[in-house]
Amino acid sequence: MWGGRFAEGPAAVMREINASIGFDKRLWRHDLAASRAHLAMLAAKRIVSAADAEIIGDGLDRIEQEFEAGGLTEDPALEDIHMHVEARLAELVGPVAGRLHTARSRNDQVATDFRLWVRDAIDAVEAGLADLQRALVTRAADHADTVMPGFTHLQVAQPVTLGHHLMAYHEMIARDRSRFADARARLNRCPLGAAALGGTSFPIDREWTAASLGFDGPTANSLDSVSDRDFALDYLMAATQCALHLSRLAEEIIIWASQPFCFVRLPDDFSTGSSIMPQKRNPDAAELVRGHAGRIAGCMTALVITMKGLPLAYSKDMQDDKPPVFEAHDLLALSVAAMTGMIDSLTFYPEHMRTAADSGFSTATDLADWLVREAGVPFREAHHITGAAVRRAEEMRVRLAELSLDELRGIDGRIGPGVYDVLTVEASVASRTSFGGTAPDQVRARIAEARAALGMER
Residues designated as active site = 153, 274
The 3-class SS string of the chain reads CCCCCCCCCCCHHHHHHHCCHHHHHHHHHHHHHHHHHHHHHHHHCCCCCHHHHHHHHHHHHHHHHHHHHHCCCCCHHHCCHHHHHHHHHHHHHHHHHHHHHCCCCHHHHHHHHHHHHHHHHHHHHHHHHHHHHHHHHHHHHHCCCCEEEEEECCEEEEEEEHHHHHHHHHHHHHHHHHHHHHHHHHHCCECCCCCCCCCCCCCCCHHHHHHHCCCCCECCCHHHHHHCCHHHHHHHHHHHHHHHHHHHHHHHHHHHHCCCCCCEECCHHHCECCCCCCCCCECHHHHHHHHHHHHHHHHHHHHHHHHCCCCCCCCHHHHHHHHHHHHHHHHHHHHHHHHHHHHHHCEECHHHHHHHHCCCCCCHHHHHHHHHHHHCCCHHHHHHHHHHHHHHHHHHCCCHHHCCHHHHHHHCCCCCHHHHHCCCHHHHHHHCCCCCCCCHHHHHHHHHHHHHHHCCCC
| CA dihedral sign, ordered 376, 382, 386, 389 | negative
Phi, psi (rounded to 5 degrees) for 5: -110, -40
CB 88 within 8 A of CB 63: yes
Residues 357, 185: Cα–Cα separation, whole Å: 44
CB 391 within 8 A of CB 413: no
- Give me the amino acid identity at 88: R
Residues 10, 16: Cα–Cα separation, whole Å: 10
